[in-house]
Amino acid sequence: MLINQLNAKFRLLVGSAALSALVISGVPAWAATPADTLVEAFAIDDVITLDPGEAFELTMGEINGNTYDKLVRLDINDPSKIIPDVAESWTVSDDGLTYTFKLKPGLKFASGNPLTAEDVAYSFERAIKIDKSPAFILTQFGLKPDNVTEKAKATDPSTFVFTVDQPYAPSFVLNCLTSTVASVVDKKLVSQHVVDNDYGNAWMKTNYAGSGPMKIRDWRANEILVLERNDNYHGTKAPLNRVIYRHVKESATQRLLLEKGDIDVARNLEPNDLEQVVKNSDIKTTSAAKGTIYYFSLNQKNANLAKPEVREALKYLVDYDAIGEKLIKGIGEIHQTFLPKGILGELDEKPYSLNVAKAKELLAKAGLKDGFSVTMDVRNGQPVTGIAESVQQTFAQGGVKLEIIPGDGKQTLTKYRARTHDIYIGQWGVDYWDPNSNAETFTSNPDNADTGTNKTLAWRNAWDVPDLTKETKSALLERDTAKRAKTYEDLQKKVLATSPFVLLFQQTEVAGIRSNLKGFKLGPSFDTNYVFTVSK
Amino acid sequence: MTTTETQLEARRSGAWASGLAIAIGRFVLIGAITFLGLLAVTFFIGRVIPIDPALAIVGDRAPAHVVERVREEYGLNLPLYEQFFIYVKGALQGNFGNSVLTSNPVMTDIRRVFPATMELATFGTLIGTLFGVPLGVLAAVKRGSLIDQIVRLIGLIGYSMPIFWLGLLALLVFYAKLGWTSGPGRIDVIYEYTFTPITGFYLLDAVLQGNWDAFWNIFSFIILPASLLGYFSLAYISRMTRSFMLNELEQEYIVAARAKGLSETRIIWAHALRNAAVPLVTVIALSYANLLEGSVLTETVFSWPGLGLYITNSLQNADMNAVLGGTIIIGAVFIAINLLSDLLYQALDPRTRAR
């Protein structure tokens, strides 16, 4: 016998191995998540700071929407409308320059400190003075470090007065005030953590000082983010005690966890995993259109791409139907205008479809009967790589030879921002929930010189459009909301017809959830993916 | 023991000690040079890739003046050599800068992610060694037999199977279907409130706190990825053990031992393996060092918050401080393990001591 040849040491070894095998099989596997906790698997690696004055990432938008209050919020049932949050009511002066907000009575932060207009003013001041990426959402109203305490101030503990520099459309001002950067922070708490006059920024990167329905208990980058119910919240208290976001990047892994019941919600399921999970009766899916648009754009510095006929021809050389059915099924819907569905002024028109004959005709008119060669910078990853390959094939049908240059995300973006690309494929998500966010980038280009500092998408593609720039600006000052919406419709039609932007689809966010969850709903924007309404 | 023998013994151990000191000194020197080279190469590669580091820090949407300010704050507008000098100066004082992605000092991050990787790698290497060495010995002894074929097949599969696929499969079988182990992650979320990491080695922490529920929970999580890594190192270790053993079994001293009438068990385990152990230590140490780099794919599949995932993620986001810090740690680990295996070498092989 083999075992007889082994010495005592080795027998011990085999014995301990067998023992550990026994132990493994004896360990119980956890079947369900705790009843008072919502557990989500979510790729949260884009979170780089918790500070609302600095955060500008999609996931953080969601966390912020659940943990911080603003003066006003989007109505998730109709996101083109605004509802009160800590503000009870507000008025706009006749000249359109002064906004006066009355706060609800008895507000408190999670820390227990009272929330007053003083805190609101401080929040504006620190956002302007720390001057991080999202600060422009407030500075566009004329706020500067030297005037912010005057322009955004508390006149008494329950009254906050905000003065803007031009008579903007009220819808524009209020929409901007729903964004993360306008979150109300706990002045007293933050002040205790100020270092070198940084308005608590270093501390706030990893800590919480808000008053929302949930509070942030812990964040470990690329690992976990834990929210807890805030019992001091002014509105309806959250039914669950806590919400845990686990960083799980792989779609297949998320699916396993969901099927096993170790998580309640899987947020990054890819089309093939989605198809499979719905076969399980304990799992359902929910989805919502989001404010992100995918497009490719033609650099006008390229002589061929600058011809209007070529711009139009290429819009006919895309197989939108095939892309919609195969490449973005479940994660997007074909969309050809620059305003996403759900935003004020949206226009649902899809005039383009694959039409090779028409494209050839247009190319011939441009003097490019035999086609031409062109490159496209494509970030590694789906769905853009698949779309680029599809476009490569349909371009070839029209005689246009497309070379795909794959690259890392930051690399293709660096090239795009330097305007050295031919064609760039990418996406644009709204910065704040107002039509101006996208209009400003697609249709405005104040200085088309290479030295221009306003790197809008129009600038990046060297599309010099003084008229559209003017029209975009005028929409900002249109105080009649209906008329304002009309202007955006007009802008979208013009972009559709003449622009170097080939708009492809609007992103749909989809989640797989356990059937026992109640009230889980993805909102119209990332900031409105509320978890504080969920119960089990 | 006579006086001369004692003196001889003392002199020999003295020589050994000074030999050791020289060895360590040499390693420190080589280590320092390697470090500097590593730093320089990583730093300059990080700066010449066509990615704007300011873009990585503030993102695509930041207004021009914010980008400019960040460029200035981070010294990105200075000449490259000056940036490098500043970096090295900071690094010597233990300041590796802040990670853009996590907002923490890079060293704080690494202190958090490295224990996760190390715990997994240690466990994996343990499994690989405990099973791989005996299997390799068996295969060598029974050369050409069915056992030998099976061991070699196991080794071949371990060599050629993509870990990513095998990881998912293991999850599917042992977690989803059989329910023997826990799924991806390090610990169940219900322990988020009762278990606080101290050292970052969760198993150890649980023992220190006497939290046995947590211990078994952590164990049920780590066992699957560790077994997987263990399998891969087993494949390597068993193959190497087999070939070292085959070499030893052909030596004359084996024939002599047999002639002396020693039992086969004693010949194999006490004599042949003892000699094969010397090169084997290097093999095991190298495989351990490889695992310590962080197995990116395993960490991805099992959502294991380790070093491999950290560096990959930082690299993809052009978070150069984190990449540099991580590279230095890996370099340090490699050098430390090399030193350690050399010392073990000396302990195992008397000839290296005598010299």
- pLDDT tens-digit profile of A301-353? 999 999 999 999 999 999 999 999 888 888 899 999 999 988 889 999 999 99
> CA-based Rg of chain A, rounded to a whole angstrom?
26
Mutation choice for B interface testing from A30, A267, A440 by most B CBs within 10 A: A30
- Shortest alpha-carbon distance between residue B27 and chain A (Å): 35
CB B120 within 8 A of CB B291: yes
- Shortest alpha-carbon distance between residue A134 and chain B (Å): 7
Q: Which of B63, B131, B183 sits opposite A256 (nearest CB)?
A: B183
**For residue A34, pLDDT beyond 50:** yes
At A146 the pLDDT is 93
Q: Which two tokens stand for residue B74?
A: 């981070």
Rounded to whole angstroms, what are the CA distances from A72 to A92, A527, A528? Answer: 14, 13, 13
**For residue B16, pLDDT beyond 70:** no
Residue A244, beta-bridge partner list: A39, A226
Of A204, A200, A109, A124, nearest to A164 by C-alpha is A124
Size of interface A-B (CB pairs under 8 A): 159
Q: Which two tokens stand for residue A383?
A: 């769905």
Q: How far apart are CA A11 and CA A3, in angstroms?
A: 8
- Which residues of chain B does A180 touch, with a Cβ-Cβ cutoff of 8 Å? none
Residues 93-132 of A with CB under 8 A from B: 131-132
Q: What is the pTM of this model?
A: 0.83
Query: At B179, is the secondary structure helix, strand, or coil?
Result: coil
Section B239-251 average pLDDT: 89
Q: Which of B62, B179, B300 sits opposite A250 (nearest CB)?
A: B300
- Shortest alpha-carbon distance between residue B17 and chain A (Å): 32
Q: Compute the residue count for chain A.
A: 536
Query: At B39, is the secondary structure helix, strand, or coil?
Result: helix
User: Within 10 Å of residue B192's Cβ, how many Cβ atoms?
Assistant: 18
At B258 the pLDDT is 86
Q: Which of B102, B179, B184 sits opposite A221 (nearest CB)?
A: B102
- Shortest alpha-carbon distance between residue B318 and chain A (Å): 7
The whole-chain average pLDDT of chain A stands at 89
Percent with pLDDT over 70 in chain B: 94
Q: Does residue B134 have a cis bond before it (omega within 30 degrees)?
A: no
Q: Which residue has the higher pLDDT, A205 or B103?
A: A205
- Which residues of chain B does A446 touch, with a Cβ-Cβ cutoff of 8 Å? none
Query: What are the backbone dihedrals phi and psi of residue A100, each rounded to the nearest 5 degrees, phi first?
Result: -115, 120
A133 with B220: Cβ contact below 8 A: no
**For residue A3, pLDDT beyond 90:** no
Q: How far apart are CA B2 and CA A360, in angstroms?
A: 104
B69 with A260: Cβ contact below 8 A: no
Q: How far apart are CA A170 and CA A98, in angstroms?
A: 10
Q: How far apart are CA B182 and CA B177, in angstroms?
A: 11
Chain B residue with CA closest to A140: the answer is B63
B183 with A34: Cβ contact below 8 A: no
Q: DSSP letters of A407-455?
A: E-HHHHHHHHHTT--SEEEEEEE-SSSSHHHHHHHHH--S--STT-S--
- Which residues of chain B does A453 touch, with a Cβ-Cβ cutoff of 8 Å? 63-65
Type of residue found at A484: R
Q: DSSP letters of A456-498?
A: -HHHHTT---HHHHHHHHHHHT--SHHHHHHHHHHHHHHHHHH
At B9 the pLDDT is 61
- Shortest alpha-carbon distance between residue A135 and chain B (Å): 9
Section A30-51 average pLDDT: 85
A410 with B69: Cβ contact below 8 A: no
Q: How far apart are CA B101 and CA B99, in angstroms?
A: 5
Mutation choice for A interface testing from B182, B192, B266, B304 by most A CBs within 10 A: B192
Q: How far apart are CA A125 and CA A152, in angstroms?
A: 8
- Shortest alpha-carbon distance between residue B314 and chain A (Å): 10
Q: How far apart are CA A508 and CA A330, in angstroms?
A: 7
Percent with pLDDT over 70 in chain A: 94
**For residue A18, pLDDT beyond 70:** no
Of B316, B166, B62, nearest to A222 by C-alpha is B316
- pLDDT tens-digit profile of B336-353? 887 788 778 777 777 766
Chain A residue with CA closest to B183: the answer is A257
Query: At B305, is the secondary structure helix, strand, or coil?
Result: coil
Q: How far apart are CA A286 and CA A275, in angstroms?
A: 13
Q: Which two tokens stand for residue B198?
A: 């101290």
Residue A28 gets which letter from DSSP? P
A453 with B64: Cβ contact below 8 A: yes
A401 touches B: beta carbon within 8 Å = no
Of B288, B160, B165, nearest to B233 by C-alpha is B288
Q: Which two tokens stand for residue B90?
A: 């900071």
Q: How far apart are CA A445 and CA A457, in angstroms?
A: 8
- Which residues of chain B does A431 touch, with a Cβ-Cβ cutoff of 8 Å? 61
Q: Which of A33, A57, A133 sits opposite B62 (nearest CB)?
A: A133
Chain A residue with CA closest to B184: the answer is A253
Percent with pLDDT over 90 in chain B: 12
Chain B residue with CA closest to A418: the answer is B52
- Helices H / strands E in chain A, number of each: 20, 17
Chain A residue with CA closest to B318: the answer is A410
- Shortest alpha-carbon distance between residue A213 and chain B (Å): 20
Q: How far apart are CA B122 and CA B135, in angstroms?
A: 20
- Shortest alpha-carbon distance between residue B354 and chain A (Å): 29
Q: Which of B60, B101, B302 sits opposite A221 (nearest CB)?
A: B101
At B90 the pLDDT is 84
Query: Which of A125-129, A290-294, A339-343, B260-264 is the least confident region?
Result: B260-264
At B317 the pLDDT is 78
A17 touches B: beta carbon within 8 Å = yes
Residue A403, beta-bridge partner list: A375
Section A254-277 average pLDDT: 90
**For residue A178, pLDDT beyond 50:** yes
| Helical H segments across A134-262, by residue range | 136-139, 148-151, 170-176, 187-191, 201-204, 251-260
Of A527, A534, A536, nearest to A60 by C-alpha is A527
A29 with B182: Cβ contact below 8 A: yes
CB A259 within 8 A of CB B176: yes
- Which residues of chain B does A33 touch, with a Cβ-Cβ cutoff of 8 Å? 189
- pLDDT tens-digit profile of A222-259? 889 999 999 999 999 999 999 999 998 888 889 999 99
**For residue A14, pLDDT beyond 70:** no
- Shortest alpha-carbon distance between residue B6 and chain A (Å): 34
- pLDDT tens-digit profile of B165-206? 888 889 989 988 888 888 888 888 888 777 888 888 999 988
Angle at A479 between CA A477 and CA A480, to 5 degrees: 135
Q: How far apart are CA A261 and CA A32, in angstroms?
A: 5
Residue found by looking up tokens 């016998």 in the block:
A1
- Shortest alpha-carbon distance between residue B348 and chain A (Å): 18
At A407 the pLDDT is 86
Residues 493-532 of A with CB under 8 A from B: none
- Residue A535: pLDDT band (50, 70, 90) is very high
Chain B residue with CA closest to A451: the answer is B64
- Shortest alpha-carbon distance between residue A23 and chain B (Å): 9
Output the 3-class SS for A76-97: CCCCCCEEECCEEEEEECCCCC
A13 with B130: Cβ contact below 8 A: yes
- Residue B3: pLDDT band (50, 70, 90) is low
Output the 3-class SS for A331-393: CEEECCCCCCCCCCCCCCCCCCCCCHHHHHHHHHHCCCCCCCEEEEEEECCCCHHHHHHHHHH
Residues 276-335 of A with CB under 8 A from B: none
- Residue A524: pLDDT band (50, 70, 90) is confident
Q: To 10 degrees, the CA torsion angle through B334, B339, B345, B351?
A: 140
Q: How far apart are CA A395 and CA A319, in angstroms?
A: 10
Q: How far apart are CA A123 and CA A185, in angstroms?
A: 6
At B315 the pLDDT is 82
**For residue B355, pLDDT beyond 60:** no
Section A27-36 average pLDDT: 65
A29 with B180: Cβ contact below 8 A: yes
Rounded to whole angstroms, what are the CA distances from A105 to A84, A85, A212? Answer: 13, 12, 15
A13 with B134: Cβ contact below 8 A: yes
A221 with B109: Cβ contact below 8 A: yes
Query: At B245, is the secondary structure helix, strand, or coil?
Result: helix
Section B27-39 average pLDDT: 78
Rounded to whole angstroms, what are the CA distances from A316 to A260, A310, A359, A524? Answer: 46, 10, 6, 30
**For residue A376, pLDDT beyond 90:** yes
At A24 the pLDDT is 44
Section A266-291 average pLDDT: 90
B64 with A454: Cβ contact below 8 A: yes
Chain B residue with CA closest to A202: the answer is B103
- Shortest alpha-carbon distance between residue A511 and chain B (Å): 19
A134 touches B: beta carbon within 8 Å = yes
Section A183-195 average pLDDT: 96
A405 touches B: beta carbon within 8 Å = no
The contacts of residue A489 (CB under 8 Å, 6+ apart) are A345, A347
Angle at B279 between CA B277 and CA B283, to 5 degrees: 100
- Residue B67: pLDDT band (50, 70, 90) is confident
Section B215-239 average pLDDT: 91
Q: How far apart are CA A413 and CA B58, in angstroms?
A: 13
At B20 the pLDDT is 72
Q: How far apart are CA A309 and CA B45, in angstroms?
A: 43
- Residue A20: pLDDT band (50, 70, 90) is very low
Mutation choice for B interface testing from A13, A39, A48, A58 by most B CBs within 10 A: A48
**Segments of A93-232 assigned E as strands:** 98-103, 152-156, 159-163, 214-220, 224-229
Query: Which of A376-380, A386-390, B272-276 is the least confident region?
Result: B272-276
Strand ranges of the sheet holding A159-163, from the earlier edge strand across to the other edge: A87-92, A98-103, A159-163, A152-156
**For residue A418, pLDDT beyond 70:** yes
Q: Which residue has the higher pLDDT, B326 or B159?
A: B326
Q: Which of A5, A6, A206 sits opposite B103 (nearest CB)?
A: A206
Q: Which two tokens stand for residue A187?
A: 């002045």
> CA-based Rg of chain B, rounded to a whole angstrom?
25
